[in-house]
Amino acid sequence: MNKLFFVFTLTLFINAALFAQDARKYTTHVVKEGETLKSISKIYDCKVKELKNLNPDIDEDELLINTTLVVPNNISKNNSKKTPEKNEIISNSTVKYYIVESGNTLFFIAKKFNVTIESIKEANNLKDDTLQPGQKLRIPSQSEFMVKPSEKKAEFYQIKKGDTKWKIATLYHITVEKLNQLNPELQGDELKEGEHIWVPITDKQLNEEVKETYKQEQSPDFIYHVVKEGEGLFKIAVIYSTTQEEIEKLNPEAVKMLRPGMLLKIPGKKKDKFVTHVVEKGDTLYNLCNKYDVTEEYLLLNNPDLNDGLKLGTTLFIKPINKGEETKNKTNSEFVGKPKSDEIKLSYLLPIMSDSVVSFKKSKLKTINADFYLGAQIALEELAGKGIRVVAHVYDTKNNKQTINKLVKQNDVASSDIIIGDFFIDNSLLIAKNLPDVPVFLPFYSKKQDSITAPNLIKSGNDESISGATLAKYLSKKHSGEKIVLISDFTDKNLTDAKEIEAFFNEKKIQYNKIEAIKSTKDNSIINVNIPDLISLLNEEQNTWVILLSDNSALNADVVNAYANAKINNTKLFTNDLFEKKWQPNYSNLAKLNWTFISPQFADFQNPEIKKFQTFYKEKNFAMPSEYAFTGYDLTMDAVLRYESGNLIKDLEKVKTIRFSRVYDYRNSKNDDLKNEGFFVIQFKPNFSFEIIEE
Bridge partners, 455 (sequence order)? none
**Which amino acid is located at 35 in the chain?**
E
Express as a percent the part of the chain with pLDDT over 90: 22
Bridge partners, 98 (sequence order)? 89, 137
Q: DSSP characters for 581-603?
A: TT----HHHHHHTT-EEEESB--
CA-to-CA separations, 439 to 252, 575, 667, in angstroms, rounded: 46, 34, 15
CA-to-CA separations, 652 to 70, 240, 390, 432, 459, in angstroms, rounded: 52, 30, 20, 17, 12
- State which CATH number among 2.160.20.10, 3.10.450.50, 3.20.20.30, 3.40.640.10 fits the domain covering 466-599: 3.40.640.10
Q: How far apart are CA 371 and CA 366, in angstroms?
A: 9
Domain 154-200: homologous superfamily in CATH: LysM domain (3.10.350.10)
> How is the chain split into domains, by residue range?
154-200, 205-267, 274-320, 344-463+608-682, 466-599
Q: Which fold has domain 344-463+608-682?
A: Rossmann fold (3.40.50)
What's the CATH class of domain 205-267?
alpha beta
Q: How far apart are CA 186 and CA 116, in angstroms?
A: 15
- State which CATH number among 3.30.1280.10, 3.30.470.20, 3.40.50.620, 3.10.350.10 fits the domain covering 274-320: 3.10.350.10
**Which amino acid is located at 690 in the chain?**
F
Q: DSSP characters for 492-512?
A: HHHHHHHHHHHHHHHHHT---
> 165 versus 599: which is more confidently predicted?
599
Bridge partners, 197 (sequence order)? 157
- Phi, psi torsion values for 618, nearest 5 degrees: -65, -40
From the number of C-beta atoms within 10 Å of its C-beta (0-12, 13-18, 19+), residue 639 rates as buried
Write down the mean pLDDT value for the chain: 76
Q: For 562-615, write each residue's pLDDT tens digit.
A: 898 887 778 999 998 887 665 777 888 898 899 999 988 888 887 888 888 988
Same fold, 205-267 and 344-463+608-682: no
Quick one: pLDDT band at residue 440, thresholds 50, 70, 90?
very high
Q: DSSP characters for 380-416?
A: HHHHHHTT--EEEEEEE-TT-HHHHHHHTTSHHHHT-
Q: For 109-160, write each residue's pLDDT tens digit.
A: 877 777 777 778 877 778 788 888 888 887 876 544 443 434 345 566 777 7
Identify the CA nearest to 634 among candidates 467, 448, 454, 444: 444
From the number of C-beta atoms within 10 Å of its C-beta (0-12, 13-18, 19+), residue 79 rates as exposed
Return the number of other C-beta atoms located less than 10 Å from residue 185's C-beta.
10
pTM: 0.54
Return the number of other C-beta atoms located less than 10 Å from residue 476's C-beta.
14
Enumerate residues 6+ apart whose C-beta is below 8 A from 14: 687, 688, 689
